Amino acid sequence: MNTHLYIEKFFLKNGMETDTEHYPFNIPVIRNFRKLEFHKPVTFIIGENGTGKSTLLEAFAVAYGFNPEGGSRNFNFSTLQNRLGGNGVYMFDEPEAALSPMRLLALLVRMDELVKANSQFIISTHSPIVMMYPDADIYEIEDGKLQLAKLENTRHFVITKYCIQNRDKILAELGVTTN
């Protein structure tokens, strides 16, 4: 099992100008960001739409020296798996896009192979299936802050589980009816 991490933390440089009137420091999670530590080969960044996950991931990518325009944006996991060779850092922004649940399970298997081949992942996702990867850190953006969360307590997991287990009830609560 991998214990070596390529990236142990990202932090805001001292004296960094932070113009809170404008993007990106007008986003609460970016404005509040000081440091994020990585403890596990797989780290998830999750949160509601528009909370700043892609912005954060792009900042990480630039800080690490990736070209943010370097092809990750529309990365198609299902057809480009063979680009992932191990011994590397992978930052994915919603890898679940366009993948079926079966493909998401295949993604978990591939991630696991790569973790075991000394890789580190930082992934933004809305998918509770992707988040299932064991022994990962899940940072959830809540109240404009990154907070470590347990999978079972994350908003995405709770809502998804509730919908699956209580389909009629949630539809009634939402007033979504056929008559």
Ligand X SMILES: Nc1ncnc2c1ncn2[C@@H]1O[C@H](COP(=O)(O)OP(=O)(O)OP(=O)(O)O)[C@@H](O)[C@H]1O
d(CA 23, CA 50): 12
Long-range contacts of 25-33 (CB under 8 A, 24+ apart): 27/51, 27/52, 27/55, 27/144, 28/52, 28/143, 28/144, 28/145, 29/56, 29/141, 29/144, 29/145, 29/146, 30/55, 30/56, 30/59, 31/144, 32/144, 32/145, 33/146
Place of tokens 């347990």: 150
Name the binder of 49 from Mg ion, ligand X, none, CB < 5-8 A by kind. ligand X
Using the minimum distance from each CB to ligand X, give the nearer residue, 43 or 51: 51
Using the minimum distance from each CB to ligand X, give the nearer residue, 49 or 79: 49
As measured in angstroms, the least distance from the Cβ of 55 to ligand X is: 3
Using the minimum distance from each CB to ligand X, give the nearer residue, 55 or 120: 55
Enumerate the β-bridge partners of residue 104.
none
Contact 56, 144 (CB under 8 A): no
As measured in angstroms, the least distance from the Cβ of 24 to ligand X is: 7
Name the binder of 32 from Mg ion, ligand X, none, CB < 5-8 A by kind. none
Using the minimum distance from each CB to Mg ion, give the nearer residue, 26 or 87: 26
Name the binder of 128 from Mg ion, ligand X, none, CB < 5-8 A by kind. none
As measured in angstroms, the least distance from the Cβ of 116 to ligand X is: 29
**Binding footprint of ligand X on the chain (CB under 6 A):** 23, 27, 47, 49-55
Name the binder of 23 from ligand X, Mg ion, none, CB < 5-8 A by kind. ligand X
Maximum alpha-carbon separation in the chain: 60
Name the binder of 71 from Mg ion, ligand X, none, CB < 5-8 A by kind. none
**Binding footprint of Mg ion on the chain (CB under 5 A):** 53-54
